[in-house]
Amino acid sequence: MSTVVVASRGTAGRAPWLGRRPAAGRSYNSLSGVLLPLPFSFVKTQLRKSRRKAQGVVVTAKLVPDDEANTSVYASLEDEPRDPKMMVTEADFEESLKNATVRRRPVLLPDDVPEFEELEYLEGSTCKVFIDRNGQFKESLCCDYGFRKGAQRMYEDGVDGQIPDGAFQLGTENFRQEYTAIRQSFRYNEYKIMRSKAPLPGIIGKIDNAIGSAFVSAMAKADIWLEERGILSKLPENPRAVADRKITSTCRKYRAMLDTAVLSNDAVWEREKVRDEERGPDFTPPAVRVIYLGLCYFLDFYFDGRPIQRFWFLETVARMPYFSYITMLHQYESLGWWRAGAKLRKVHFAEEWNELHHLMIMESLGGDQYWLDRFMAGHASVIYYFLLCILFFFNPKLAYNFSELIEGHAVDTYGEFVDANEELFKSLPPPFAALNYYMGSDLYLFDQFQTTNLAGKKIRRPKCDTMYDVFSNIRDDEGQHVATMAACQNASIVKDFESIDETLKY
């Protein structure tokens, strides 16, 4: 039997509250996920009472054998008087952390989780305790609706910074995962679910429904025939049905609320029209504008009625420009052609880091659930990356111009989405990835892409209390990308760098 001792890494003082002793028949690995079956309000109150200045950390836990602990155990990281029965030194804590084979942050169980489901819920829960850089407790969305999660997402203990396996092994594992997913997409007809949210009008809709239904039905029957003869392995149960059984009623309620979010394509184009008038007719070459408009119309058509999936696709593609710019600047340096772009590489990496967090937010909201969406986004991203590398090779300013168009469209789309769903989003908590990015203690990369703000001696520190704040922050982030891409075209970025160095004092 062990006692759960809760402490906060990087903080001073003592943690004045404890988790529950494991019940008979339950075992917990050292520093693994710990059940904290306390009312959410109680935990929040106790954390505030502790008056600790936790620098953007998440509470973690340590198990101490009962013969070394008593019912009033506290974990201290910095206090010098060390009674082994009452204290855990910082050195011991760090050593245990390094040696732990399984490391997960403690989680808070929502009040509606039955006791017999606690362990099952713990395995997939993301309701982690988060304390921001100001020492304030932050409630996060205790649900993850994404296809990629756990080890495939950042901010999971024991995962961040891991060295990848070889390319063949990674490729094989990904193929197996996606191969099962594509079979499930046909057998369980996820396309019907996708189209039901945005049916096509008139005769086009009837043709689409007839052709699509016939194709999906044929593929499903072929899969069943091959499975019955042992040629294909037995397909796992419908993952959506499994997920529906595992998530709590709170998560079901949040998902239903997210499904009611709306986005009007016509309203977005009205905003786009205003932006075009401000830019003028000669802003971009006709060939580039044709490609840009084609992408926008594709997003309108394919993701109509599915805004979260649309944003996930957009954020997947939005990272590619910064990957390509860094690649080309690296090549110029390696060939000895150009080294003055070193600071540009730093800004572009910070921009890509920002888009990565946007992507993780959309993943956690379920943007990558469907196999066809992932297929489209993955292939579009690779093609887009190489096209931008070629464009940058011949004309870097034109590559930046195209990115400014895309980021401007993102500003208009997120702006409309925020305004149209303000009341809804103010009733939802923020995802965990958003809290880590906007409220964590490491703001170096967040600051580095705020080129125009910093040039104006402004240091941006957005709040992140609700989903409304999250989407508002993303909209403003995209606005900063627009400004940076514009500055890269007219060389004003050089003066911005000089102002940034004067503004930021680390």
pLDDT score, position 415:
97
Q: What length is written for the chain?
A: 506
Considering the domain architecture, whether residues 296 and 182 belong to the same structural domain is answered as no
pLDDT over 70 at 146, yes or no: yes
Are residues 213 and 331 located together in one domain of the fold?
Answer: no
**Is 129 within the bounds of a domain?**
yes
pLDDT digits (tens, 9 = 90+) for 258-308: 999 999 999 999 999 999 999 888 899 999 999 999 999 999 988 988 999
Q: Rounded to two decimals, what is the model's pTM?
A: 0.76
The per-residue pLDDT for 72 is 32
Q: Of 258, 278, 293, which residue is a domain's last?
A: 258
207-211, 270-274, 287-291, 451-455: lowest mean pLDDT where? 451-455
pLDDT of residue 452: 76
479 and 384 fall within a common domain: yes
Check whether residue 386 and residue 268 sit in a common domain. yes
Give mean pLDDT, residues 51-60. Answer: 40
Predicted confidence band of residue 338 (pLDDT cuts 50, 70, 90): confident
The verdict on 275 and 365 lying in the same domain is: yes
Q: Whole-angstrom Cα distance, residue 272 to residue 413?
A: 9
pLDDT at 74: 33
Pick 175 or 41 by higher pLDDT: 175
| CA dist 162 → 59, 202, 275, 454 (Å) | 21, 51, 43, 33
Residue 235 belongs to what domain range? 167-258
* pLDDT at residue number 81: 42
Look at 69-78, 245-254, 264-273 and tell me which has the smallest mean pLDDT.
69-78
Do 291 and 226 lie in a common domain? no
Q: How many CB atoms lie within 10 A of CB 243?
A: 16
Residues 185 and 125 in one domain: no
Residue 153 lies in a domain: no
Angle (CA) 341-347-350 rounded to 5° is 145
Q: Which residue has the higher pLDDT, 159 or 205?
A: 205
Q: How far is the C-alpha of 192 from the C-alpha of 263, rounded, in Å?
A: 21
Which comes out higher in pLDDT, residue 496 or 343? 343
Domain boundary among 237, 258, 279: 258
The more confident residue out of 232 and 10 is: 232
Instruction: Report the pLDDT averaged over residues 167-190.
Output: 91
pLDDT given at position 456: 66
Are residues 128 and 204 located together in one domain of the fold? Answer: no
Q: Cα separations (Å) of 361 from 149, 190, 208, 309, 315?
A: 11, 22, 32, 11, 10
Predicted confidence (pLDDT) per residue in 275-285, tens digit: 999 988 889 99
Same domain, 184 and 264: no
pLDDT of residue 152: 65
Inside any domain, residue 162: no
- In terms of average pLDDT, the best of 126-135, 191-200, 335-344, 476-485 is 476-485
Do 359 and 485 share a domain, yes or no?
Answer: yes
DSSP state, residue 115: G
CATH of the domain at 347: 1.20.1260.140
Mean pLDDT, rounded, of the chain: 77
More confident residue, 486 or 24: 486
298 and 399 in a single domain? The answer is: yes
pLDDT at residue 36 above 50? no
Label the pairing between strands 59-65 and 2-8.
antiparallel
**Three-state secondary-structure class, residue 100:** coil
Per the structure block, which two tokens stand in for 187? 């057998």
Instruction: Assess contact for 291 and 298: CB atoms under 8 A.
Output: no
User: Highest mean pLDDT: which of 86-90, 144-148, 460-464?
Assistant: 460-464
Q: Classify residue 493: in a domain, yes or no.
A: yes
Task: Assign 57 a pLDDT band (cuts: 50, 70, 90).
Answer: very low
pLDDT of residue 340: 80
Residues contacting 377, CB < 8 A, separation 6+:
312, 313, 316, 317, 368
Same domain (yes/no): 220, 278: no
